[in-house]
Structure 1
Amino acid sequence: MSRTLVLASTSPYRQQLLRQLNLSFTAVAPQGEEVIDQQVAPELLVKHLALQKANSIRERFDDALIIGSDQVFVDPRGRILGKPGDAAGACRQLKMMAGQTHAFYTGLALVDCRTSQTLVDYVTFSVTLRPLTTEQIAYYVEQEKPWDCAGSFKVEGLGIALMERMAGDDYSSLIGLPLIRLTTMLAECGVDVLAPQPNVCR
């Protein structure tokens, strides 16, 4: 079944991940501000943020499937953290994370504008960073400029060298879009990723 697919994100990482499914899609910037509420459990927070992104552009489409996704991680003291925002913030995050294990939560929402069906879920993935020196952290941040990434690293790039161990069911959730769960959601809405598509994204 051919459906219009919309990704409520301008993130190049999520767009690159979605291209792996060989589907035609449009990326649209979501509306509204991302607010991290420390009083809300991380799994509930990311589900809310993902659905908020998808719903923020829903009125623009009559017959689309809209994907929303968002990510946070929890430090050893239980604080919920998102993107660092700048180089100094990235260095602070990585210094705090070095030598410890952190849980990442990625929320995923799929909204069917035709039927009003809404599917929402989250996926977890944990990472343990190596002990890192201040110089190593500064070098890494300068090389990859990861201040638009929760956790301040790009595991698909040089960030893999920061890792001592990773654990989870879907590595793509760590990058920002859980493709395994998304494939299941799309199937529930009538889109078979493994069926021939009339207009694939090249």
Structure 2
Amino acid sequence: MNASTHSAPGCETEQAARRHTAITLWFTGLSASGKSTIACGLEQRLSLAGRAVVVLDGDQLRRGLNSNLGFSAADRRENIRRTAEVAKILNEAGLTVIAALISPSCEDRAMAREIIGPNALREIYISTPLATCEQRDPKGLYARARANELPDFTGISSPYEPPASPDLRLDTSRMSVEDCVLQIDSLLKRDAGLPPS
């Protein structure tokens, strides 16, 4: 028995409209830079505005979908590839995606943009300085990396390549989470041709 892949009348138009407005906001930055905190605040704001949003958090992905991956260059690349493929599927279903991953390699981020689509991805660089991130160190990871307990730790024993021209640059050592959320919301409204709040 063959399953039909045809949509009901009107569904294709609705799906196309949702895909047109769906976007992936790709947060990149060091560990403890504020990616997940901003993602949570933005998700709440967009959800209250009636937008369907999914957060793809790097830590959560590594506990589930990407739990078999380590931190070698090849594994990091596969982590990004899988996340980008999921984001693309969610965008095609009409969902806005907030992907919050360290994603330290320019080449890997370019791959994510290619998978998701150049017009469907906005790169948000959380540019909080290393010193601030290390001072926060909520999970004690920087301390462990300094003690040589964590090889390939981004910012300490493994490089982070900052984006050359991100769509938005946010520094949580200088801006509140609320201000960061408002900046991203304004970016989305500009994309949609709407006036800022």
Same-fold status (TM-score > 0.5):
no
Normalized per residue, the structure richer in strand is 1
Q: Which structure ranks higher in relative contact order (CA pairs < 8 Å, sequence separation ≥ 6)?
A: 2
Scaled by the length of structure 2, the TM-score of the pair is 0.35
